[in-house]
Structure 1
Amino acid sequence: MALEIERKFLLKDDSWRAAVSSSLRLSQGYLTSLTDGAKASVRVRIGGNLAYLNIKSMRLGMSRDEFEYPIPIEDAGHMLTNLCSGAVIEKIRHHVHFAGLLWEIDEFLGANQGLLMAEVELNSEDQTFQKPDWVGDEVTEDPRYYNVSLVRHPYTQWGFE
């Protein structure tokens, strides 16, 4: 069984951009009904010339079950267009290596424009790691920042003061 241990953070500034090693535009949508009580989300994602079907447990926190399988890109395109529940999330994923870890920074587009979030995958929940200066508040436990939530409640509709 695959276990993802991931922490999510907002960003303080754009200084991370100077350290980007690669970037990839991603499109992803959810095939499952996003109703309360669901045990897992099922999403389809296209990034570059590759496509994946991903199943992730629907629980808060840094550790979740996750399974990912490659699928034909044509199938993924059809699913995104015809089978997804809610909006399709568009984002650019930037990779930044810092202190021995890979940080993935998602720069959201469309209805989630303006949201920048950094994620780092760990080997254990108690793993210590150095945070870059550009990392801000942790949002790992905040469900609003989960992609499955951003489909229903996009960042641009949060009503900032």
Structure 2
Amino acid sequence: MGVEIERKFLIDETKLPALRNGYIIKQGYIQTVDHTTVRIRIRDKEAFLTIKGKSQGATRLEFEYPIPLSDAQEMLTNLCHASLVEKTRYLVEYEGHTWEVDIFEGSNQGLTLAEIELESEAEDFSLPEWVSEEVTEDVRYFNANLVEEPYTSW
């Protein structure tokens, strides 16, 4: 069983170090009837199908599978509702952890978030100086919700 423990933060871009080697992500969501999330993601030239369970704090079930790129493109076009989430992701190492910094584009232009994946909810970690506010439990920042209520509409 896959488990994701992830915390999410807003960042102060003026304090962010130089970002290098980003990769482009386009993702969409297939509508479900409960709190399950089904995501189709293209990362550069790779594609993935991800199924996530309901969040409980910073923890939820997560299962991810590689799929053919052509299938992902077809699913994004024909099965995903609303708009796509488009962003460039950068990996930033800080005191033994890898932070994922996402700079959003399109209908979420202006939003920049940082995420950190942990081994347990109780795991200690240091916050970089560029982290400003935790938004882990603010559902507006869930990527699946950003397709329905984009950041530029807030």
Same fold at TM > 0.5? yes
Deviation at 1:60, TM superposition (A): 4.8
- 2:113 aligned residue: 117
Under a length normalisation based on structure 2, what TM-score does the superposition of the two structures give? Answer: 0.95
- 1:3 aligned residue: 3
Within 2, Cα distance between the matches of 1:109 and 1:21?
Answer: 17
Unaligned runs of 5+ in 2: none
Within 1, Cα distance between the matches of 2:125 and 2:151?
Answer: 28
Deviation at 1:72, TM superposition (A): 0.1
Any idea what the Cα deviations from partners look like across 1:43-88, whole Å, max 9, x if unmatched? Answer: 1000011000000113252101000000000000001111101111
Q: Which moved more, 1:55-64 or 1:122-131?
A: 55-64
SS of the equivalent of 2:22 reads strand
SS of the equivalent of 2:122 reads coil
- 1:149 aligned onto 2:149: no
Within 1, Cα distance between the matches of 2:74 and 2:130?
Answer: 38
- 1:138 aligned residue: 134
- 1:94 aligned residue: 90
Instruction: Give the letter aligned to residue 116 of structure 1.
Output: T
| Aligned counterpart for 2:35 among listed residues 24, 33, 39 | 39
SS of the equivalent of 1:152 reads coil
Unaligned runs of 5+ in 1: none
CA contact (8 A) 1:32 1:43 kept: no
Deviation at 1:16, TM superposition (A): 2.3
Aligned residues: 154
- 1:81 aligned onto 2:80: no
- 1:107 aligned residue: 103
Within 2, Cα distance between the matches of 1:141 and 1:77?
Answer: 30
Within 2, Cα distance between the matches of 1:64 and 1:73?
Answer: 26
Change (3 A) 1:60 1:91: farther
* Percent identity of equivalent pairs: 49
Instruction: Give the letter aligned to residue 115 of structure 2.
Output: E
- 1:63 aligned residue: 59
CA contact (8 A) 1:60 1:143 kept: no
List, as ranges, runs of 4+ consecutive aligned residues in structure 1 with deviation greater than 6 Å.
none
Deviation at 1:132, TM superposition (A): 0.4
Within 1, Cα distance between the matches of 2:30 and 2:43?
Answer: 17
- 1:24 aligned residue: 23
Q: Tell me how large the CA RMSD over aligned residues is.
A: 1.2
